[in-house]
Amino acid sequence: MIVDIHQAGAIAATAQAKPGQSFLHLLFETGISRGRELCAGTGLCGKCKIRFLGAPPAPCTDDQARLDAEELADGWRLACKHVVLESCDIEVPDFAPVTLAGSRGESLAVDIGTTRIKWSLISKAGHSPEFATINPQMGVGSEVMSRLRYALSSDSARAHLRQSVIRVLGDLVRRSGAVSLAVCGNSTMIATLLDVPLVGLAYAPYSLPWQGGEKVSIDGDLPAVYIPPLLGPFIGADISAGLAHISTLEPEYPFLLADLGTNGEFVLALDAEHFFACSVPMGPAIEGVGLCCGATAGERVLSRVALGPTGLQWVGTPLSGISGTGYASILALLRRLSVIDEAGHFQAATMPLARKISDRIGTHRLGRILDLEPGVFVAERDIEEFLKAKAGVNVALRSLVRRAGLLEGDVARIYLAGALGEHADPSDLITLGFLPEAWREKVEVAGNTALAGTLLALESEDVRNWLACLPDRVVVEGLVEREDFGSAFMQAMRFAWV
């Protein structure tokens, strides 16, 4: 079956499609959608829309929720919700090309995150700033399970997923002139990059297909790559690198590293020799992806909200979307004003200023929403997605502290990392119940600890030796596999520390 893909008034690609193949995957394999901030193929974000230039398929429920009547009549549909049944012509919106910023340097450190790839360089002048681009694998979904399902669907799919990242690494090496390379990332990102078996990461009982902590060759055009050790199926090289960075800060024990990304990874260090670790899936919501008006941080993307004499205030108008940090900021403020309740539902407020804000609450085809600007709003369904992430973090942190035989107040320092941890106001996370009140004066926003530790590993053999010993010092708890996880998770589905 032949699919002609039109963009900007011309045919951008002609693809040979398999019967029943998702249009979403077809767009990724042709390179059309690489670098797009898409949800996990669940119809939440609406950003994968395509227009059928011939007879369109009947709209599904998700089409009707995300697209208005005029768009549906014009033949627009969600690519993630339709499959190729016959040869056809489709149109895709224009996408801004992905460009790679950077500088030159002898050594290149790369953090392959689920949503973004970040990097920094070492030269004779020192360390460069941190640069970032969208992970091209976002074209098949925003979280690791969507990637694993796609990779396991066929050998060619797995190769497409792997090569999309190798191309980015190759571009970075060529642009920078780097002759040494170190890469960190979660276990799925690393396993995909190395083309090792993925079944143990996709299905229980979960297992780690490769241990890391060594140099490997991943492509003939790249230098040999040092990858820090992986600590568990969902506790990757980014976490071991982060611990290497914190170990150089002469930390006070016991300390906690909380990496809040699409996967929440947590390590509690009792002392320099004893570590307890666990992880929970958090989903892309905390990075602003997959939500009705979600977006990664950037120009005109809401990242912080304040309360002024007339109600909500922000900068960057007109808004184009809301980042994960922006959602945390606005939800915390709404919670303090009782505009949303503990369960995450909008409610009528009593205080005069809060009433002005609650007057923005209305109905939409996506459900109840709080309007911010035309086309930009917070929906109750978005709040639920954010609440799921909060519940997972709550359960993980409480379980880890108890596993170590401690109380929350015994932890001396909490280092926040990851997409949400790097940028959110800790007081917002306490208001929403991600963190307990007992940690208010103990939280340190630590930045990108993964990239910082990977840079250290590039420079220092002592750091690499420390990392080599780390796996034997870490006890990994399989939290999600526990029988009581489901009930504890549901109990934590409210904006309070539980």
Q: What is the pLDDT of residue 285?
A: 81
How far is the C-alpha of 41 from the C-alpha of 118, rounded, in Å? 24
Other CB atoms within 10 Å distance of the CB of residue 249: 13
Q: Give the pLDDT of the chain (498 residues) as one tens digit per residue.
A: 999 999 888 888 899 998 999 999 999 998 887 666 777 666 778 888 999 999 999 999 999 988 999 999 999 999 999 999 999 999 998 876 666 777 899 999 999 999 899 999 999 989 999 999 989 998 888 889 889 999 999 999 999 999 999 999 999 999 999 999 999 999 999 999 999 999 999 998 899 999 999 999 999 899 999 999 999 999 999 999 999 999 999 999 999 999 998 889 999 999 999 999 999 988 878 888 888 898 888 889 999 999 988 889 998 889 999 999 999 999 999 999 999 999 999 998 888 889 999 999 999 988 999 999 999 999 999 999 999 999 999 999 999 999 999 999 999 999 999 988 888 899 999 999 999 999 999 999 999 999 999 999 999 999 999 999 999 999 999 888 888 999 999 999 999 999
Per-residue pLDDT reduced to its tens digit, 40-52: 666 778 888 999 9
Other CB atoms within 10 Å distance of the CB of residue 98: 12
Residue pair 236/265 in contact (Cβ under 8 Å)? The answer is yes
Q: 107-227 maps to which CATH number?
A: 3.30.420.480
Q: What is the pLDDT of residue 97?
A: 64
Per-residue pLDDT reduced to its tens digit, 407-448: 999 999 999 999 888 888 999 999 999 999 999 999 999 999
Q: What is the pLDDT of residue 99?
A: 67
- Which pTM value belongs to this model? 0.90
The strand pair at 367-373 and 376-379 is best described as: antiparallel
Q: What is the pLDDT of residue 100?
A: 74
Q: What is the pLDDT of residue 357?
A: 94
Q: Which two tokens stand for residue 314?
A: 């922000």
The CATH H-level (homologous superfamily) assignment of domain 2-91 is Beta-grasp domain (3.10.20.30)
Element holding 385 (H helix, E strand): helix 380-403
- Domain limits, the chain: 2-91, 107-227, 249-498
The closest alpha carbon to 116, from 383, 422, 462, belongs to 422
Per-residue pLDDT reduced to its tens digit, 254-305: 999 999 988 899 999 999 999 999 999 888 788 888 888 988 888 899 999 9
How far is the C-alpha of 96 from the C-alpha of 102, rounded, in Å? 19
208 vs 191, 194, 238, 482, CA distance in Å?
Answer: 9, 13, 15, 18
How far is the C-alpha of 295 from the C-alpha of 288, rounded, in Å? 5
